[in-house]
């Protein structure tokens, strides 16, 4: 085993299904087998996770892919470059709307995204206040909501005010009628639907391309100073990803997610059966991630230009995307 530059590691995450491989790597001892003493740190929000990673309190973290180009351009107000070489999830977000709003506007899961967006746009133009939320400004969730609204009205999509909420707060917000809908990863859409507050009305894959959603990220400086340590962290997580893809039963993983308060609702092969198998399928999908692609970061940056009014040349987009993907010379 090569000498590690650092063995005591602070690894941050947000409670979502796509941090499963990180939690499983810890539970099964894959980090310790690599010579690492990893402390997992549950963060309250993407903003706190980003700040603590950028300023070195966290060594590595479960990050939104769009955080990386935002850091490179300074659009995150910090400008401390981040990079990744490990994908944790690909385009696994959903759009949910409150059951009351769906009833009032005649929206159902059978509607095509163009249809549901059209009903929202028509109501908004008549003056109805519809509060929608995403998880972070720089996220595919934000861009998914914009692109969804644009299916009905490009101008409305450009100007429509959207709220930002940490993923675990989405259910509380919709139950308290503080928001009427949101775009978030699982299990929060499923929990809100099971508890009777919302309906899942669209899959992000119906609206935006198959792009990277979450990654394991470090600052570029940290990666440069700790190459062997970073390889060890990634190796441990990749072993966990293999398990997610190949284990015959996910029962132990399910129990781990319940103990970690990521799954906070009753769901099994006997109750809420469809949702149970949907979650199982999603968990397994995290074990089959491909290599990091700079083209995904290029797409994100084009979205930043379109919706966040970022001004940047095409050649610079390619350069930044390569740095984000750890592929720069």
DSSP characters for 105-135? HT--TTS-HHHHHHHHHHHHHTT----EEES
Q: Which of 204, 166, 186, 211 is nearest to 324 (CA)?
A: 211
Per-residue pLDDT of the chain (329 residues; tens, 9 = 90+): 579 999 999 999 999 999 999 999 999 999 999 999 999 999 999 999 999 999 999 999 999 999 999 999 988 888 899 999 999 999 999 999 999 999 999 999 999 999 999 999 999 999 999 999 999 999 999 999 999 999 999 999 999 999 999 999 999 999 999 999 999 999 999 999 999 999 999 999 999 999 999 999 999 999 999 999 999 999 999 999 999 999 999 999 999 999 999 999 999 999 999 999 999 999 999 998 889 999 999 999 999 999 999 999 999 999 999 999 988 65
Q: Do domains 8-90+212-324 and 93-206 have the same CATH topology?
A: yes
Q: 129 and 101 in contact (C-beta within 8 Å)?
A: no
Judged by DSSP in three states, 236 sits in helix
Q: 187 and 279 in contact (C-beta within 8 Å)?
A: yes
**Per the CATH hierarchy, to which homologous superfamily does domain 8-90+212-324 belong?**
Periplasmic binding protein-like II (3.40.190.10)
Kindly list the domain boundaries of the chain, sorted by start residue: 8-90+212-324, 93-206
pTM: 0.96
Query: Would you state the pLDDT for residue 204?
Result: 97
Query: Would you state the pLDDT for residue 87?
Result: 97
Distance, in Å, from the CA atom of 278 to the CA atom of 219, rounded to the nearest integer, reads 34
Query: Would you state the pLDDT for residue 77?
Result: 82
CATH of 93-206, one of 3.40.50.10320, 3.40.50.620, 3.90.1150.10, 3.40.190.10: 3.40.190.10
CB half-sphere exposure, 14, CA atoms < 13 A: 30
């Amino acid at each position: 085993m090569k000498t590690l530059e650092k063995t005591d590691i602070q690894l941050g995450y947000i409670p979502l299904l796509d941090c499963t491989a990180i939690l499983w790597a810890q539970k099964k001892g894959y980090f310790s087998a690599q010579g690492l003493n990893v402390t997992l740190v549950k963060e309250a929000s993407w903003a706190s996770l980003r700040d603590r990673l950028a300023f070195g309190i966290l060594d590595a973290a479960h990050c939104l892919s769009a955080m990386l180009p935002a850091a490179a351009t300074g659009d995150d107000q910090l400008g401390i470059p981040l990079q990744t070489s490990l994908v944790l999830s690909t385009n696994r977000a959903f759009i949910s709307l409150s059951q009351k709003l769906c009833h009032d506007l005649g929206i159902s899961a059978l509607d095509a995204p163009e249809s549901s967006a059209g009903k929202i746009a028509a109501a908004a133009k008549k003056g109805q206040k519809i509060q929608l939320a995403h998880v972070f400004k720089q996220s595919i969730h934000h861009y998914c909501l914009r692109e969804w609204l644009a299916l009905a009205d490009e101008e409305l999509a450009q100007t429509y005010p959207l709220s930002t909420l940490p993923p675990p707060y989405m259910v509380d917000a919709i139950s308290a009628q503080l928001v009427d809908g949101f775009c978030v990863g699982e299990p929060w859409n499923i929990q809100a639907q099971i508890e009777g507050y919302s309906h899942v009305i669209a899959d992000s894959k119906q609206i935006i391309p198959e792009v990277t959603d979450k990654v394991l990220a470090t600052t570029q400086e940290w990666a440069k100073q700790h190459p062997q340590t970073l390889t060890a962290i990634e190796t441990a997580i990749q072993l966990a990803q293999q398990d997610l893809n190949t284990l015959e039963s996910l029962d132990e993983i399910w129990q781990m997610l319940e103990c970690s308060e990521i799954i906070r609702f009753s769901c099994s092969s006997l109750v809420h059966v469809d949702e149970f198998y949907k979650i199982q399928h999603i968990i397994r999908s995290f074990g089959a991630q491909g290599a990091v692609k700079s083209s995904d970061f290029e797409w994100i940056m084009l979205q930043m230009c379109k919706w966040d009014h970022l001004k940047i040349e095409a050649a610079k987009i390619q350069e930044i995307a390569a740095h984000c993907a750890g592929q720069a010379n």
